[in-house]
Amino acid sequence: MYIPARKKPPQPVHLDDYRPPDHLVERVQLTVELHPRRTLVRSRIAFRRNPAGRGPGAPLTLYGADLELVSLHLDGAPVELAALEVDEEQVLLPGPLPERFELAAEVVICPEDNSALEGLYRSRGLYCTQCEAEGFRRITLYPDRPDVLAPFAVRLIADPEECPVLLSNGNPAGGGRLADGRHYADWHDPFPKPSYLFALVAGRLGRVEGRFRTASGRDVALHLYAAPRDLDKLDFALEALREAMAWDERVYGREYDLDVYMIAAVEDFNMGAMENKGLNLFNVQALLACPELTTDAGYRTIRAVVAHEYFHNWSGNRVTLRDWFQLSLKEGFTVFRESQFSADFGSPAVRRIEEVELLRERQFAEDEGPLAHPVRPRSYLEISNFYTLTVYEKGAEVVRMLHALLGPERFRAGCDLYFARHDGCAATVEDFLAAMEEASGRDLQQFLRWYDQAGTPRVAVNGRWDPEAGTYTLEFEQSCPPTPDGAPKFPLLIPVRLALIGRQGPVPLYGGGAEGAAEAVVALAERRQTVVFREVREPVVPSLFRGFSAPVRWHFPYGRDDLKFLMDADTDGFNRYEAWHRLALEILVEQVRARLDGRQVPLDERLEQAFARLLSAPPADRELLARMLKLPTEDALAEAFEPIPIHEIHEVRQGVARRIAERFRSHLLTCREAHRVAEPARPDPEQMGRRALANAALGYLTLLDDPECARLAHRQALEADNMTDVYAALGALVDSPSETCATLGREALEAFYRRWRDEPLAVDRWFEIQAAASPPGGVERVDALTRHEAFDARNPNRVRALLGTFAHRNHVNFHRRDGAGYRLLARWVLTLDAGNPQLAARLAVPLTRYRRLPPGLALQMRAALEQIAAAGPLSPDLYEVVHKALAEGAPESAREA
C-alpha cells in the first residue's frame, strides 16, 4: 500500500484547534536495513491511551508520506490495510483500541530518490536524515507530532563496504556481523524525545575525537564525523563544542546527559544544522573550517552554530514543544543563549551590531510584508515556512527583553524553574512565562503580547531639559502599524535601556527606577508615558535603547551635532555605532531625496569630519572601528523611502563612498598597511580585528580609478594565506566601477577557481562573490553561472550561494528595470520546487515584497509571482508563500500605472 506525500493545496492549521493526542508512545524500536533504492524500516511501537484524549473509541492517528506500507500488526495480529483510512498524509486505524497495545509496521522507502532532503535520503553516498518538522513520517508510520515523546532503541543494518559507520541517537548499545555479511549497530536513547529529533547517519566517514569532563565529573566522548578528506577541518568546531559545554554549565547550570556527543557533516542539507538528540547533523558550511577556506565571519558562524545546537540539548530537547506554534520557545530562546555565548568571543558590540543589522534589514521587512506573522503564529499552511527570522531572531529579542526586565539573577532563576518543571515534557510559551513570573514575582501577562502580536512597534521619543528645575523629561509614545492579519494592536511592555550623556560621560540618574546609577531600564507599558529624571545640572544628550534593548523602530529628534557628540562620548559600544549610523544615514537620505527631486545639495561636511575622526581614532576595538567606517547599507537606506528608489540609493551610496575614497586616499592606504596581518593567519580576535580594518580601507580604495589600488587588491587576492583577505579583495575588485579593477578581478576569479575547484566551500564563495557584484550585466552573469560546470541545483548551498545571494544582496541588478532579475528567479523557483520544495519556497521570498517598489518594478515582480502561481500544481511550501503574497493585492500606485 503506497502512501503518497501531500499534493493538494494545504489547509490551514490553527493554534486554537490544538487537541492532545489520543494515544501516547511508551517506547520505540526501529530496525532500518539501508539500501539506496529499497530501505526496509521495521518498527515496534508501544502505545497507551492518553487520559487527556477522546477515550477508548478514538482512532489511532498516524502519519506517513512517500512510503510503501508492506504490513501492519496490532498486538501480533495482522491489520487489514484496506481498513485504514488514508487522507493525504494522515492514516487512521479505527477504534476502539486497547488501553495498551503494540503496533508493528514494515515499510519500504527509497532514499536515493528523495531530492526533498526530508526524512531519510542518500546524498553523495551518505545516508542521513532531516526530520524537523515533519520528516519522520517519510521514514515510517508514526504519530509525528512534537508532543508525543518516547525513548528510542534503533538497529541500523548495512553493507560494511558501503556504510562502515552507522550512527543514531543516544549511546552505543552493541553491534556485530550478520550471517549474510552485513553489519549492524545498536543505539539506545533513554531520554524521551519527539520524532522530529530522530537521526541516523551512515556511510564512509572519518572521525575526530575529544573528551569533556562535566562539572559533576562525568567524562563525555566527543565524536565529530566528516568525509575523510575533511578531518583536518574539524579542530575549530571541536574546540567550540568544548567552549559551549563549559559555558552552558557556568551560565545556565546545564550539564550534558549522554555518554557521547556526536556531530556529522553533511554536504546536501536544507538547513544550517539540526539538534537531534546526541547526534547533530551539520551543513558542511557550519562545521568545516581552516584559514585557507573559511572567512573570519565563517569562523564566528561555526562557533555560534555549534553552540546553538548544543544549547538545544536543554532548550528544545529535554524540554520540547507542545505544538509547532510554540517553535520560538526553543528557537528564540536558544538564539538568545547563543548570542550571549558569542558576545564572550571578540567584540561584543560588533556581535550585537551584526544581530541588529539582520533584524532591521530582513526581519523588519518580514514584519511589513505579506508573510508577516507573530513570533507565535495563530495559523499556518505549511510549518516549514515558519522557520523565519521572526520566529528565530525576533523570538530571541523577546527573550532578551525578558532578561532586561527581570535582570540576570531572576532570569536565571526562571530558567532553572522552567527546566526543572518541564524536563521530559512538551511545553508552551505560557509555561515559560509562568516560570519567569514565579521566579521573579513580576506579572508578565502584558509581555505575552510580544509572542501573539505581529508587526514592528514604533516608539517616538522627545526630551527636554529644564535647567532651573534640574530635570530632564523624556516622553514616549508607542504604536504599531497594521499587519495582514488585521488584528488590533495593543500596547506592549517595552524595556528602554537608557543613559543621559554629559560632557564627562553618563550622568547619575535619579528617576525612572534608578537612584544614582549610570543607566536605567524604563519599562514602557502605556501608549504614552513620561519619565522625569532629577538632579540633571548640565546639558545632556539621551542615549536611548542602549544595546538595542527592544526590537522597535524608534525616533528621537537628534541634531547632527548631537550624533557626532554621541559617537565620541557614549560609553555603550553599540550606541556609539548607532550614532554614526544615524548621522550617515540622515546625510545619505538627504542626498537621495535631492536626486529624486532633481536638485543638488552639498554633502554635509559633518560626514567627512566624522569619518576623519574615526580614521584617526586609536583602535581599541578594531572590529568596531571597521564596522563604523562602513556607510549604511542599501537595505538600511531603503527603510527611509516608500516606494524604494532602488537605483538612486545605489548610485548615491556608491558616489559618496567614492568621494570619501578620494578625500582620504592616503589615510586609507596608511590604515590598510598599519593593520595588515603579516604572520600566518589565525582565527583569533586580534587578527580578526586587524583584517577587518585593513579590508574596510581596501573596499574604499578599489572604488577609485587608480591602478596602484587595483594592483594592491589583485595581489592580495592572489597571495593572501586566508579566505578572509582573498574574499574581501575579490569582492572589492569585481564590485568596483573601475575597468582596471574589473579586468584584474576577472583574472583573480579565474585563478581562484583553478586553485579551489575541488573544494566545495571555496567554490560556494566563488559563486557568491560574482552573484553580489553590482556592475551592469548581473542578470546575464548569474544566468550564465547556472550553466557552469560547478553549479549543482541539487545542492542547497550552491543554490543559495548563487541565486540567494543575487536576490538578497545585489539589489541594483535583481531589481533591474526590465524585470529580468525577477523572471530569472521565478524560473529557478519553479525548477527547484519539483525536487526540493523547502528550498524553492525560501528562494521565492524576495519576490513577495513588491508593494514597497516603484510602480513599474512592482508590476513586474507581481507578474513573476503570477507566473509561478499559474505554472501548475505547486508544493504546499511554495503554494503558501506565493498565494499569501498575491492575496495582498497590488499597491495603488502599481494599479494606476
pLDDT at 891: 63
- Spatial separation of the C-alpha atoms in residues 842 and 837, rounded to whole Å: 9
What is the β-pairing status of strands 165-168 and 200-203? antiparallel
| Helical residues (DSSP H) of 327-463, grouped into ranges | 327-342, 348-358, 364-367, 389, 395-406, 408-422, 429-440, 449-452
- Spatial separation of the C-alpha atoms in residues 332 and 348, rounded to whole Å: 19
- Spatial separation of the C-alpha atoms in residues 26 and 17, rounded to whole Å: 25
- Tens digit of pLDDT for each residue in 389-422? 999 999 999 999 999 999 999 999 999 999 999 9
- Tens digit of pLDDT for each residue in 109-150? 999 999 999 999 999 999 999 999 999 999 999 999 999 999
First to last CA, the chain: 54
Residue 28's φ and ψ, nearest 5 degrees, are: -130, 130
- Spatial separation of the C-alpha atoms in residues 537 and 535, rounded to whole Å: 6
Helix (H, G, I), strand (E, B) or coil at 124: coil
**Active-site position among 89, 132, 134, 309:** 309
Side chain identity at 200, as an amino acid letter? L
Helices 685-701 + 646-663 axis angle, to 10: 100
- Tens digit of pLDDT for each residue in 819-850? 999 999 999 999 999 999 999 999 999 999 99
pLDDT at 482: 96
Side chain identity at 534, as an amino acid letter? R
Cβ neighbours of residue 562 closer than 8 Å, sequence gap 6 or more: 541
pLDDT at 893: 53
- DSSP conformation class of 527: S
Helices 348-358 + 622-629 axis angle, to 10: 40
For residue 519, give Cα distances in angstroms to 184, 459, 711: 61, 19, 49
pLDDT at 417: 98
For residue 618, give Cα distances in angstroms to 571, 581, 622, 664, 694: 15, 19, 9, 17, 14
- Spatial separation of the C-alpha atoms in residues 397 and 332, rounded to whole Å: 8
pLDDT at 892: 58
Q: Which long-range contacts (CB under 8 A, 24 or more apart) does 587-590 make?
A: 587/560, 588/631, 588/632, 588/637, 588/652, 588/653, 588/656, 589/637, 589/640, 589/641
pLDDT at 6: 86
Active site residue 331: no
Look at the pTM and tell me if it is higher than 0.85.
yes
- Spatial separation of the C-alpha atoms in residues 555 and 310, rounded to whole Å: 38
Cell of residue 390, nine digits: 521572526
pLDDT at 10: 87
Q: Pick out the chain residues at pLDDT < 70.
A: 889-897
Cell of residue 80, nine digits: 487489514
pLDDT at 791: 98
pLDDT at 890: 63
Contact call for residues 384 and 833 (beta carbons, < 8 A): no
